[in-house]
Amino acid sequence: MTSRVTPDASAAAAGSTPPTASTPVPPPTPQETASRRMLTGDRPTGKLHLGHYVGSIQNRVHLQHEFETFLIIADLHMLTTRNTRADIDQVSQNARDMVLDSLAAGIDPERATFYLQSAIPEVSELNTLFQNLVTVPRLERVPSLKEMARDAHKEEMPYGLLGYPVLQSADILCVKAHVVPVGKDNHAHIEVTREIARRFNHLYGEVFPVPELVVSEVPTLLGTDGQGKMSKSIGNAILLSDSEAEVQRKVRGMYTDPNRVRADIPGTVEGNPVFQYHDAFNDDKDEVAELKARYRAGTVGDVEVKARLVAALHVFLEPMRERRAKYEGQSGLLDELIVDGTDRTRREVRTVVGEVRSAMGLAGTWNQLRRKAEQARRRRDA
């Protein structure tokens, strides 16, 4: 699978500058490449799964060589749907698991900077400032938010969840990221980010690059139940850290074509998660084509199709298991990566938020008041 940087034309049209789609960007110079950044990440709600991999991690692994890479552990975003004390108490372990999953998937700890969102309060400051650059009806049109509210059994939309894309904009823009590889459920959020960046630049001067969405070849991976996207919260996920036996058990229990009660009845490949997984993870394309043809003709059973998928997933996951074992053995490595990465990111974010405060005139207001107060104090004390 290859990554594609896709400027979103509809988002661009909503802003004040012409769509990027009509203005091809020349390839960056080596110096620009060194300073161009990627930001993406995950909520620390559990271990990473195949959906995270195809939606985003795979592109991260490619793009880390081209872009300075920031990977957020988005615990403030977790709070939009899970905010009990028990949820929060799990964040540190979930964060370690996520970082380990990322390293196992091929993220290079020398290249990528992992950071914990809530440990950088300037991100929340930026979120507050950005809240005035977007309207409530605009956010109400973001489809994923309603889905997340429904999946989290929320009867009414929490204020923080409605603002999810605004906080995400603060994450992306606080390091002035140029590219954001995310799965389909996040695409509309990046449109909001592009609008906020343009609106900010229009009102206060050019501070932010307008980041580009990087779409993956499989924007949404179905869950093993075939009901919707693979999600930890729904319990239909195959984890990157699952053992061979767990993968086998989960694949055997997978939803296929519900109308196909016997192996000699022609089956449907489209929308069938077993075949979506074959397309995504089975490198033997001839085998996949042959299985599809036989499935459509009613000459292969689910058992064989699934057994071949288990074998393909084994080939895909085995190198990850090897890398995982290597990193697992290094005590404290994950904590150190998160802490050092957070310190480093906070320094970057402070610089950007300083620029934002200056551009908006907030720094000027405060400095003026402080100067006058100091002058008054000096006059009084003289």
Residues 279-318 that bind ligand ATP (CB under 6 A): none
In the complex, the smallest distance separating the C-beta of residue 265 from ligand ATP, rounded to whole angstroms, is 29
d(CA 318, CA 103): 14
Q: By CB under 6 A, is residue 123 in contact with ligand ATP? A: no
């290249």: which residue's tokens?
111
Q: By CB under 6 A, is residue 124 in contact with ligand ATP? A: no
Bridge partners (DSSP) of residue 38 are 69, 179
Residue of the chain from 109, 183, 267, 341 that contacts ligand ATP (CB under 6 A): 183
Question: Closer to ligand ATP at the Cβ: 187 or 198?
Answer: 187
Question: Closer to ligand ATP at the Cβ: 56 or 127?
Answer: 56
Residue ranges of alpha helices (H) inside the chain are: 9-14, 30-35, 50-52, 58-63, 75-78, 85-89, 91-105, 121-130, 136-140, 143-151, 159-162, 164-173, 187-204, 244-252, 273-281, 285-297, 302-328, 333-360, 362-381
Q: By CB under 6 A, is residue 185 in contact with ligand ATP? A: yes
In the complex, the smallest distance separating the C-beta of residue 80 from ligand ATP, rounded to whole angstroms, is 10
Question: Closer to ligand ATP at the Cβ: 8 or 356?
Answer: 8
Question: DSSP assignment, residue 203?
Answer: H
Question: Closer to ligand ATP at the Cβ: 7 or 44?
Answer: 44
d(CA 207, CA 167): 18
The answer to whether 297 and 266 are in contact (CB under 8 A) is yes
DSSP line for 211-272: -EEEE-SSSSPBPTTSSSB--TTTT---BTT--HHHHHHHHHT----TT--STTS----TT-
In the complex, the smallest distance separating the C-beta of residue 370 from ligand ATP, rounded to whole angstroms, is 41
In the complex, the smallest distance separating the C-beta of residue 122 from ligand ATP, rounded to whole angstroms, is 22
Classify residue 50 as exposed, middle or buried by CB count within 10 Å of its CB (0-12, 13-18, 19+): buried
Residue of the chain from 3, 7, 38, 56 that contacts ligand ATP (CB under 6 A): 56
In the complex, the smallest distance separating the C-beta of residue 148 from ligand ATP, rounded to whole angstroms, is 8
d(CA 9, CA 191): 9
Residue of the chain from 7, 15, 51, 273 that contacts ligand ATP (CB under 6 A): 51
Bridge partners (DSSP) of residue 68 are 37
Question: Closer to ligand ATP at the Cβ: 230 or 356?
Answer: 230
Structure tokens at 29: 């110079």
Binding letters toward ligand ATP, positions 206-235, x by CB under 6 A: --------------xx-------xxxxx--
Question: Closer to ligand ATP at the Cβ: 211 or 267?
Answer: 211
User: 361's torsion region: left (phi>0), alpha (psi -120 to 50) or beta?
Assistant: left
Name the one range near ligand ATP by CB under 6 A: 37-45, 194-202, 338-346, 353-361. Answer: 37-45
In the complex, the smallest distance separating the C-beta of residue 30 from ligand ATP, rounded to whole angstroms, is 28
* CA end-to-end distance (rounded Å), the chain: 73
Name the one range near ligand ATP by CB under 6 A: 38-46, 156-164, 193-201, 337-345. Answer: 38-46
Sites of contact with ligand ATP (CB under 6 A) = 42-43, 45, 51-52, 54-56, 182-183, 185-186, 220-221, 229-233, 237
